């Protein structure tokens, strides 16, 4: 009969008694010792003992195997959001607003008494989108407001670091955004036209933030973000950095208006 391995000539492995708990470090049972303890005749009295030994080794291995790394984030609301498999039921707008108001754009390298938060960036992008697309329904404006909502969990990684991370970051971001959309009655996937138009508004906002707050020269910003359209004062007013509590409150106010 076969114990632990389909090939009796291969060494058997287990967990080292000297290894730190949970390390998963392995050791090898000497082959000749195992063969001596394993009867060749399945009907012999030693077969049960050999089986018991095999199952005991399996139990020890399973008990000492390292636990998988934690992939969930606990929110102030008490929700626990799984980053690998996010559920819409674990998403609350208060958690989103709280997080985004405390995440800084441009890695915090902006002028002013307060960091320019992702919450305020979302408000700016939605204001630009509203100005450029006056016929948009409230649902589309809400999706524009939430375009960077996943950053309440994963933070605002600067574009160069996203390049370093590759597809892994984008995959997590898209799963979170889909769960956020479903939580608030929106399509899981952003419609193509809306996605493109929101990206246009996002680039205009990035140009304004770069030149007004992040120290970019105009010509440098033009190379990265393109030439923005002229905008009214009420949209440009969003460039004045708000304190954390104000940014959080204004984000919640705008969400409530668009979601009603």
Number of domain units in the chain: 1
Classify residue 106: in a domain, yes or no: yes
pLDDT at position 53, please? 60
Classify residue 31: in a domain, yes or no: no
* CATH (domain of 149): 1.10.3210.10
pLDDT band at 55 (very low <50, low <70, confident <90, very high): low
* Percent of the chain clearing pLDDT 90 (strictly above): 65
Look at residue 28 and tell me whether its pLDDT is greater than 60. no
Dist CA 112 CA 260 (whole Å): 34
Classify residue 102: in a domain, yes or no: yes
Length of the chain: 260
Over range 3-26, report the average pLDDT: 42
Selected residue with higher pLDDT from 125 and 10 = 125
The pLDDT tens digits of the residues spanning 81-103 come to: 999 899 999 999 999 999 999 99
Residue that has been written with the tokens 């708990």 in this structure: 21
Pull the structure tokens for residue 38: 């394993």
Name the DSSP class of 24: -
- Of 46-60, 107-121, 182-196, least confident by mean pLDDT is 46-60
pLDDT at position 71, please? 84
- Helix, strand or coil for residue 43? coil
Task: Kindly calculate the radius of gyration of the chain based on its CA atoms and give it in whole angstroms.
Answer: 28
Which helix (H) or strand (E) element contains residue 72?
Answer: strand 72-74
Pull the structure tokens for residue 218: 């105009």
Q: Which domain holds residue 199?
A: 79-259
Dist CA 198 CA 224 (whole Å): 17
Look at residue 62 and tell me whether its pLDDT is greater than 90. no
Using a 10 angstrom Cβ sphere, with 0-12 exposed, 13-18 middle and 19 or more buried, the burial of residue 33 is: exposed
Look at residue 57 and tell me whether its pLDDT is greater than 70. no
Strands 72-74, 26-29: pairing is unpaired
Look at residue 58 and tell me whether its pLDDT is greater than 80. no
Over range 152-156, report the average pLDDT: 92
State pTM to two decimals.
0.73
Selected residue with higher pLDDT from 130 and 10 = 130
Query: How does the average pLDDT of the chain come out, rounded?
Result: 83
Residue that has been written with the tokens 């195997």 in this structure: 65
Classify residue 169: in a domain, yes or no: yes
Classify residue 46: in a domain, yes or no: no
Classify residue 40: in a domain, yes or no: no
Classify residue 3: in a domain, yes or no: no
Look at residue 149 and tell me whether its pLDDT is greater than 70. yes
Classify residue 27: in a domain, yes or no: no
pLDDT at position 35, please? 45
Look at residue 30 and tell me whether its pLDDT is greater than 50. no
- Helix, strand or coil for residue 41? coil
Name the DSSP class of 12: E
């Amino acid at each position: 009969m076969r114990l632990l391995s389909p090939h009796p000539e291969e060494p058997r492995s287990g967990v080292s008694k000297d290894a730190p708990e949970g390390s998963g470090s392995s050791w090898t049972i000497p082959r000749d010792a195992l063969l001596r303890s394993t009867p060749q005749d399945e009907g012999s009295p030693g077969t049960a003992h050999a089986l018991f030994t095999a199952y005991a080794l399996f139990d020890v291995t399973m008990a000492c195997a390292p636990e998988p790394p934690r992939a969930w984030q606990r929110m102030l609301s008490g929700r626990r959001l799984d980053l690998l498999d996010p559920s819409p039921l674990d998403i609350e707008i208060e958690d989103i607003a709280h997080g985004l108001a405390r995440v800084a754009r441009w890695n915090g390298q902006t002028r002013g008494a307060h960091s320019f938060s992702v919450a305020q960036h979302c408000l700016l992008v939605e204001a630009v989108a509203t100005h450029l697309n006056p016929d948009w329904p409230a649902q589309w404006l809400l999706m524009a407001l939430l375009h960077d909502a996943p950053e309440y969990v994963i933070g605002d990684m600067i574009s160069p670091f996203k390049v370093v991370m590759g597809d892994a970051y984008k995959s997590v971001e898209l799963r979170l955004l889909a769960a956020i959309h479903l939580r608030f009655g929106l399509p899981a996937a952003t419609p193509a036209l809306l996605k493109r138009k929101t990206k246009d508004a996002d680039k205009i906002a990035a140009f304004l933030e770069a030149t007004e707050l992040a120290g970019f020269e105009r010509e440098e910003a033009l190379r990265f973000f393109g030439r923005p359209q002229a905008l009214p004062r009420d949209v440009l007013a969003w460039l004045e950095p708000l304190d954390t509590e104000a940014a959080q409150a204004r984000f919640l106010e705008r969400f409530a208006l668009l979601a009603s």
